[in-house]
Amino acid sequence: MSKIAADTKATQTMSSKAATDAAIEAKSRADKSRYRDIVDHFIHLIDPLLEPHGYEIVHLEVHTHRQKILRLFIDRNIDSITDPKLAHAPIGIEDCTRASRILDEPLDLMPEVESAFKGAFELEVSSPGVDRPLRKPKDFVRFKGKDARIHTFRPLKNEELENPNYSKKNAKQKNFLGTLDGFESDKILLRVTENHDSPLTRVKLGKKKTKKQLADEANASGMIIRIPLVLVSKANIEPHFEFPARSLGSPGDSHENED
């Protein structure tokens, strides 16, 4: 085979592979979009059933393959709760059991549910967890001051972020970590540092700082970017775990008796 023929065949092979990869990626995007539409539709149907009882859906999963499961993650609906103490109370087992009983019969009567599962399915209701999903505009207002991790469908442009200095140093960025600063004009306000890594997740070697010191640094050195909610694929509270230092004489330490 001549060199020209070999090069032509190699080019055709590469083109064929690129076309196959593009087709697979396009199908994957279509499947994800279809799944998101189903999830959004289910939330639209089920949320009104929970709202009068002081709950709302923060995340929903539909499994229709080997195991047929409708999994809901619920939280307090602060718009329908008048007791301030209850509005900030964590979701417990009793709440999940109550929500399950509220939904049990109505879900069996919904044609959309029957169409999705085509028979019996299992309903699971859980609390949102420490990394609570953020979906609605009011979520980003409610949790202002909390650290959040936000993913977008595609890299955001300078005019979308509305911060030229940040865009210049963080081009083609799809994943963001920072402190929520509210919600305006259909955009999430996020306070980030110039290298986009939140100071709340960093500890300098040999100089561990308190959570308050790290938070103060974030507010002092951060800049605001704006992320269009319509372009967000996933957003969650970023949890922080602090473990107390173990001191001498703590339970579990062994000491020899001195005579």
**If you write DSSP's letter for every residue of 118-169 in order, what string do you get?**
SS--EEEEE---TT-B--SHHHHHHTTTSEEEEEESSPPPHHHHT-HHHHHH
Same domain, 145 and 122: no
Q: Do the Cβ atoms of 189 and 148 come closer than 8 Å?
A: no
| Residue 173 structural domain | 137-237
Tell which wins on pLDDT, 48 or 245: 48
Domain co-membership, 121 together with 152: no
Q: What are 181's two structure tokens?
A: 């600063």
Do 174 and 110 reside in the same domain of the chain? no
Domain limit, last residue, from 91, 126, 161 = 126
Task: Provide the CB-side half-sphere exposure for 176 (13 A, CA).
Answer: 37
Whether 219 is in a domain gets the answer yes
Asked whether residue 122 is domain-assigned, the answer is yes
Confidence of residue 95 (pLDDT cuts 50, 70, 90): very high
Arithmetic mean of pLDDT, 101-125: 95
pTM, two decimal places: 0.72
Q: What pLDDT sits at residue 245? A: 55
Same-domain status, 35 and 112: yes
- Please give the tally of structural domains in the chain: 2
pLDDT digit string, tens, across residues 182-216: 999 999 999 997 554 444 444 343 455 555 555 55
Q: Are residues 153 and 193 in the same domain?
A: yes
Q: Is 71 inside a domain boundary?
A: yes
Q: Say which CATH number the domain at 164 has.
A: 2.30.30.180
**First and final C-alpha spacing in the chain:** 92
4-21 pLDDT per residue, tens? 666 666 666 767 777 787
Domain of residue 90, CATH code: 3.30.300
Average pLDDT rounded to a whole number, residues 60-86: 90
